[in-house]
Amino acid sequence: MKSRETLIRLKRFQVEEKRRRLAQIETMIAEFQRMAADLDREIAAEEQKANISDPAHFAYPTYAKAAAQRRDNLRRSATDLEVQLDDAKAELGEAYEELKKVEILEDRERAADAAREPGAMHEASLSRQARPTL
C-alpha cells in the first residue's frame, strides 16, 4: 500500500514539474515577443528621427540596426521555444496519462480491498456462530 502511495505522489510531482516547465516556456515566449515589439517601436522612432527607413542606406541609424538584429534574435528564440513548448505539452500529456493509470489502479485495488473486507467479516461472524459455547 505504501509503495503505491509513493508512486502516486511521484507521478503527481512529475505532472506538476511538467506544468511548471510548460508555464515557464510560455512566459519566456511572451516576454520575448513583448521585447521584440518594444524594439519594433524603438526602431520606428529612430527611423522617424533620422527620416531614413532603408537599412541599406549609408546613414541608417546604427542603433536601429543593432535593435533590429536584437529583435530578430528574440523572434528566432521565441520560434525555437515554441518547438520546446510543443514537446513540453506532449511530455505533460504523457505524465498526466501515467498518473491517471496509477490512480485508476489504486482505485481498483481499494475497491477490491473494500469488497474483500465485508466478506471477511461475514466469514468471521459465521465461524463465531459455528463454535460451540463452553
User: Rounded CA gap, 101 and 99, in Å?
Assistant: 5
Model pTM?
Answer: 0.74
Residue 131: band (very low, low, confident or very high) from pLDDT cuts 50, 70, 90? very low
User: Rounded CA gap, 132 and 109, in Å?
Assistant: 37
Lookup: cell for 44: 520606428
Domains of the chain with CATH codes: 2-100 (1.10.287)
Closest alpha carbon to 89 in 19, 32, 33, 29: 19
DSSP assignment of 55-106 equals: TTSTT--HHHHHHHHHHHHHHHHHHHHHHHHHHHHHHHHHHHHHHHHHHHHH
Residue 127 has pLDDT above 70, yes or no: no
For residues 54 and 60, is the Cβ–Cβ distance under 8 A?
yes
Lookup: cell for 42: 524603438
Q: What is the pLDDT of residue 134?
A: 43
Residue 123 has pLDDT above 90, yes or no: no
Any idea which residue has 520560434 for its cell? Answer: 79
Q: Which amino acid is at 4?
A: R
Q: What is the pLDDT of residue 59?
A: 93
Lookup: cell for 47: 527611423
User: pLDDT of 30-67, one tens digit each?
Assistant: 999 999 999 999 999 999 999 999 999 999 999 999 99
